[in-house]
Amino acid sequence: MKQSRRLEKFRSAVFFELNDLKQQLRAEGKEIIDLGIGSPDLPPPPHVIQTLAEAVADPGGYGYPTSEGSLFFREAVATWYKNRFSVPVDPLRECMALMGSQDGLSHLALALVDPGDYVLVPDPGYPIYEVSIHLANGIPYRLPLTEENQFLPDFSAIPKEVAGKAKLMILNYPNNPVTAVADRAFYEKAVAFAKQHQIAIVSDIAYSELAFDGYRPMSILEIEGAKDVAVEFHSLSKSFNMAGCRIGFAVGNRDILQALAVVKSNIDYGVFTAVQKAAAAALLGDQSHTRRMAETYQSRRDVLLDGLAQIGWQIPKPKATMFVWAKIPVAMASREFTRELLRRTGVAVVPGVGFGQQGEGYVRIALVQPEDQLQEAVRRIGASGILR
């Protein structure tokens, strides 16, 4: 059967190639240290697991949930946003539940973008951003994120004709994959630019709670007037290690959320009520578990990067996320370096080009293994001679 032509625009080939090589090496008996996929290896807080177990045992919880989320969950989101960012959220009209933030990010363009509309998308960027645009037959306009500009987009470099046809602009800070962060001044510029050109902002802050060295990321909704143009997507996958539960949420502009709700009401029936109860418990409960988790990732970051520095691979320490964005220290393209590293050492990372053209020359390393495994990865890389 012939596939749709839109599949040709997806960048999944890089990831399939990496997975195939990992499977081949495992079949040959190679022990793989997988620092590729950003899947948390830590469990949720105990009280969240207990809440989920009790909710699953409730025979009354197996009916269809509402697609926009139960009121108790949306109220928990509103409370968390108020406590965390001092941002008031109307749980009825400014909040909705999602099957993870990727669910909302993948469907929003269908609600807002017509064929021929532009969407301003970061490059490098999380692949679903651009995939969602192609699904809606929109046109991605890539905003280069470069080291010279602290991996922030330059709004002044966007052509007026593009800005005039743009419906959406996607921002992601703390950023995956480049780990950059944004300050209040940047968000103020973003909101002003969006209002000037009547562009909706999609802010993805899935990594807001994984911050290090005392840094505290902010929400774009803290900017005055941001709700006029912006929605923000968040996930419990990383903040509370609930990746397999598939739950997140979107908050912000009520008109944008209503449009998304219309799309989703025709696609799914919402998140399992038991999962919503567990997520509400996570949002309303003791947040010290999340702070300890961030400390764990910070310690892993230091173990890995201090070790790599000792063998000659100097990488700046990120302020946030569960990733490291590393410039390749030898004369190899990112796909070639990733394959060679995996073959020689069994250490799997992701080539930067898998996140966009601007990712060439870098690899993304996920801090999803215990410290002893990270130390072993450093040892293998040093012994392999690949850095020489």
What is d(CA 347, CA 339) in angstroms, rounded to the nearest whole number? 10
Q: Enumerate long-range contacts of 128-133, CB under 8 Å, 24 or more apart.
A: 128/102, 129/105, 129/170, 129/172, 130/9, 130/11, 130/356, 131/10, 131/11, 131/106, 132/105, 132/106, 132/107, 132/108, 133/109
Beta-bridge partners for 141: 120
CA dihedral 158, 126, 167, 259 (to 10 degrees): -160
Specify the pLDDT at position 9.
74
At 300 the pLDDT is: 98
Respond yes or no on whether the N-terminal peptide bond of residue 329 is cis (omega within 30° of 0).
no
**CA distance linking residue 23 with residue 21, whole number of Å:** 5
Amino acid at the residue 94: E
Dist CA 180 CA 168 (whole Å): 21
Q: How far is CA 155 from CA 93, 105, 127, 196, 333, in A?
A: 30, 22, 21, 12, 29
State the pLDDT at residue 7.
77
Considering the four listed CATH numbers 1.50.40.10, 3.90.1150.10, 3.50.50.60, 3.40.50.300, the one that applies to the domain covering 5-43+288-384 is 3.90.1150.10
Beta strands in the chain (DSSP E): 33-34, 95-98, 118-123, 139-144, 166-172, 200-204, 230-235, 248-252, 323-327, 347-348, 350-351, 362-366
**What pLDDT sits at residue 180?**
98
- Please give the full DSSP string across 132-198, using - where no structure is assigned: HHHHTT-EEEEEE--GGGTT---GGGS-HHHHHHEEEEEEESS-TTT-----HHHHHHHHHHHHHHT
Q: What is the pLDDT of residue 67?
A: 87
For 32, counting Cβ atoms within 10 Å of its Cβ (0-12 exposed, 13-18 middle, 19+ buried), the class is middle
Read off the pTM.
0.94
User: Following CA atoms 370, 373, 378, 382 in sequence, which dihedral angle do they give, to the nearest 10 degrees?
Assistant: 180
> Residue 120's beta-bridge partner residues?
141, 169
The answer for residues whose C-beta is within 8 angstroms of residue 28's C-beta and 6 or more apart is none
- pLDDT tens string, the chain, 388 residues long: the values are 888 877 777 766 678 888 899 999 999 999 999 999 888 999 999 999 999 999 999 999 999 998 899 999 999 999 999 999 999 999 999 999 999 999 999 999 999 999 999 999 999 999 999 999 999 999 999 999 999 999 999 999 999 999 999 999 999 999 999 999 999 999 999 999 999 999 999 999 999 999 999 999 999 999 999 999 999 999 999 999 999 999 999 999 999 999 999 999 999 989 999 999 999 999 999 999 999 999 999 999 999 999 999 999 999 999 999 999 999 999 999 999 999 999 999 999 999 999 999 999 999 999 999 999 999 999 999 999 999 8
Task: HSE, CB side, 13 Å, CA atoms: give it for residue 259.
Answer: 14
Domain definitions of the chain by residue range = 5-43+288-384, 47-284
Query: What's the confidence (pLDDT) of residue 331?
Result: 95
- CATH fold for domain 47-284: Aspartate Aminotransferase; domain 2 (3.40.640)
